[in-house]
Chains A and B, each alone.
Chain A
Amino acid sequence: KRPNSRQDCFSAPVDNILDDFDFEKNLKLFDKKAVYEEIESSNPDLV
């Protein structure tokens, strides 16, 4: 990982933000239930 990758969000110019951020589209990229099942199966002592 690049050391300054955490700064990514501050480097983009703001004048290109015209449209709304698409919350639904992005939520589809994260299957919370599946991710949780994976976390819990790899760390059974967590729960």
Chain B
Amino acid sequence: FMKKYLQNPYEINLMDELTLKGVTQYYAFVQEKQKVHCLNTLFSKLQINQSIIFCNSTQRVELLAKKITELGYSCFYIHARMNQQHRNRVFHDFRQGLCRNLVCSDLFTRGIDIQAVNVVINFDFPKHAETYLHRIGRSGRYGHLGIAINLITYDDRFSLHKIESELGTEIKPIPKNIDKALYVAEYHTEPDLDDL
């Protein structure tokens, strides 16, 4: 097509690379049965502007959304078994800021491009590096600050190792206190030029 119809075309690649730049990645070691307790504590400790919480199945998305509501937090949820129209509406409302938390399965093939999301939680750790990157990564345009917290069980150890080495990244143990400058916009200050 191009050769036939275009004369001296300029080629521009508009596909944004997904990047982990600007995202600080932590893991918490948990047993499966501790996950909800752990998540509840994260909700109470972190300064969440908006969060996205990922599960590995549509059934677990629904169960977790229900649980989060029981805990007294509001959330929306979307997963692959919903019709596209409903999904779009929920996602649109979330983007508008109508709700603070969104629980979902893997629907994003281009990373999350919502500026207001400063915390991403992998309630279930993914099995593949590509999935991890789609969940945590930001498209280049938005490479901005945030934290990703992975709930890791002993069964996830192989996936953790594989994903770290394939992406050439390090997922660190969650510290006692997370520096707000890493994910809360108001606390984020550009390094002083005098310090460089």
| Number of residues from B at the complex interface, CB < 8 A | 33
Q: Which of A9, A35, A40 is B35 in contact with, Cβ under 8 Å?
A: A9
- Residues of B near A40 (CB, < 8 A) are 161
Instruction: Decide yes or no whether B185 CB sits under 8 A from chain A.
Output: no
- Knowing A20-B44, A39-B161 are in contact, say whether A26-B30 is a contact too (CB < 8 A): yes
- Complex: A38 Cα to B135 Cα, angstroms: 28
Residue positions of A touching B, CB distance < 8 A: 5-10, 12, 14, 17, 20-21, 23-24, 26-27, 29-30, 32, 35-36, 39-40, 46-47
- Knowing A10-B63, A27-B174, A47-B165 are in contact, say whether A17-B32 is a contact too (CB < 8 A): no
Residue positions of B touching A, CB distance < 8 A: 28-30, 32-38, 40-42, 44-45, 60, 63-64, 66-67, 70-71, 152, 154, 157-158, 160-162, 165, 173-174, 176
- Residues of B near A12 (CB, < 8 A) are 33, 36-37
